[in-house]
Every structure is written in C-alpha cells, then in structure tokens.
Amino acid sequence: MQERRIEPRLLCSELVEIHWKDRSGRARRRVANLEDISLSGICLQVEQGVPEETLVTMRYGDGELIGVVRY
C-alpha cells in the first residue's frame, strides 16, 4: 500500500472499540486493533471493513478520538 501520511507513525498494538452509524442510521460498533498512530491519523485493523467517508469514534480507556475513514 502506498504511504499517504506526512508525519512519522508511532507503532502500537492495542485493542480499541469503534462506533459509527451505518447508511440506514443504525448504531454499529466493533473491536479493532490499533496498529499505529500519527498526528494526522490512525491505522485500525478490523475483520469487516467500514465504508470510506464514515464518521467513526474510537474509544479507548477513558478517552475517545473522532475521525473519518479514508481508506
């Protein structure tokens, strides 16, 4: 896969939970493996894909990050 990030990645391996709404508006959630993180984004590995341009919330411990699926 072509590298798309401009900042360096920090490698990690952590299980996190992601939440989003599907096209019908139904709330969905899935466990994902956080592979790496940078200032411009994160790489999550999931068993079934989440469509591009979907707004997702990643929850971990006491925090959360919100972003959009790019690829």
The reported pTM is: 0.80
Backbone angles phi, psi at 53, to 5 degrees: 70, 10
pLDDT digits (tens, 9 = 90+) for 23-42: 999 999 999 999 998 888 89
What pLDDT does 44 receive? 94
69 token code pair: 């699926």
What pLDDT does 4 receive? 65
Average pLDDT, the chain: 90
Evaluate if residue 45 carries a pLDDT over 90.
yes
- Determine how β-strand 41-45 pairs with β-strand 55-60: unpaired
The CA-CA-CA angle for residues 34, 38, 48, to 5°, reads: 30
The fraction of the chain above a pLDDT of 90, given in percent, is: 66
